[in-house]
Chains A and B, each alone.
Chain A
Amino acid sequence: MASKIAVLGLGSMGFGMACSMKSAGLDVLGYDVAPPAVERFVARAVAERERQARP
């Protein structure tokens, strides 16, 4: 089972680190005190899932 990772801080560095761990197949939960930072991470994850789901 993939390691479960919590990323605290989705600024310019944390966002990239969270995305690269997600791309590597880890189970990533992102946290930030600023809601827009979390929304950006969720939007990116959804877009990636849809791209992978395409035949």
Chain B
Amino acid sequence: MTGADIIVSIVVSGAQTEAVLFGPNGVAGAMKPGAAFISSATMDPAIARDLAQRLEALGLHYLDAPISGGAAKAAKGELTIMASGSPQAFAAARPALDAMAAKVYELGGTAGTGAAFKMINQLLAGVHIAAACEAIAFAAKQGLDLDKVYEVITASAGNSWMFENRIPHVLAGDYAPLSAIEIFVKDLGIVQDMARAERYPVPLVAAALQMYLAASGAGMGRDDDSSLARLYAQLSGATLPGTNNP
């Protein structure tokens, strides 16, 4: 760690990022002068701002750099990175950013802006998954041919990136986690906290979050987030294609 020019942190939360930096044996105390810490966990922008200020006080660089694109694009170095931070942080982080990302959006000169962009993405992603699962289970309740529903909807105006990406898991009955229910329990919770602080209403986020909470409570927290369809099926008596994690 002491020899690293760049540290890339891809833990789960702001709390974990804080522990990595400033907890017992935290890396902040071991980084070499001028090194950059690239923080890619999804977190409340206020936490990103706080972590950046504390690290910068030690003469180190913090780049607020949430990611999107999924595991397949991560492995190909084709992520989208929503970054903000000082010009010095961008300069120090550049070799890693170029290797990881197809697109690096430079969104501002201070930490927190990248995190705020990411939370807008998570708002949409979380609501769209819930909507897609609600719709496919409703189709199942009516006894529709679900493969046909997928074919028709993906060619129609009701389609979404999430419908197209997640509903194949439901059709295959495969809920092995590519991204888990608990991720959106966390992320929509952050959106709701941010909205409360801004006195901004988020009724769609609130409704979706209740469904993620119910799925987690029913034992599906570590399963794929398309498990919301199973939750709707359990609530309604709809029948979905066979599952490998009943």
Interface residues of A (CB under 8 A from B): 3-9, 11-21, 23-24, 26, 29
Contact = CB atoms under 8 A, between A and B. Distances in A.
A24 B98 contact: yes
- Interface size class for chain B? 20 to 34
Given A21-B99, A26-B95, A29-B4, A8 B9 contact: yes
A8 B74 CA distance: 15
Contacts of B1: 6, 29
Q: Which of B1, B12, B40, B99 has the most CB of A within 10 A?
A: B99
Nearest to B16: A9
B110 to A, nearest CB: 23
Contact of A26 (B7, B79, B96): B96
B224 to A, nearest CB: 12
Given A16-B74, A21-B96, A8 B20 contact: yes
B7 A6 contact: yes
A9 B74 contact: no
A16 B98 CA distance: 14
B76 interface: yes
B10 interface: yes
Given A13-B67, A14-B10, A26-B96, A20 B5 contact: no
Contact of B95 (A3, A14, A15, A16): A3
Contact of A9 (B4, B10, B79, B96): B10
Contact of B4 (A5, A12, A16, A24): A5
Q: Which of B9, B20, B41, B75 has the most CB of A within 10 A?
A: B75
A13 B7 CA distance: 15
A5 B1 CA distance: 9
A6 B6 contact: yes
A41 B72 CA distance: 15
A13 to B, nearest CB: 5
A7 B99 contact: no
Contact of B100 (A3, A6, A9, A17): A17
Contact of B11 (A3, A8, A16, A29): A8
Given A20-B74, A20-B77, A11 B10 contact: yes
B9 A12 contact: no
Q: Which of A3, A13, A15 has the most CB of B within 10 A?
A: A13
A4 to B, nearest CB: 5
A8 B7 contact: yes
A20 B78 CA distance: 9
Contacts of B77: 20-21, 23-24
25 contacts: A4-B6, A5-B4, A5-B7, A5-B96, A6-B6, A6-B8, A6-B27, A8-B10, A8-B11, A8-B27, A11-B10, A13-B40, A13-B70, A13-B74, A14-B74, A15-B71, A15-B74, A17-B67, A20-B75, A20-B99, A21-B96, A24-B77, A24-B99, A26-B96, A29-B4
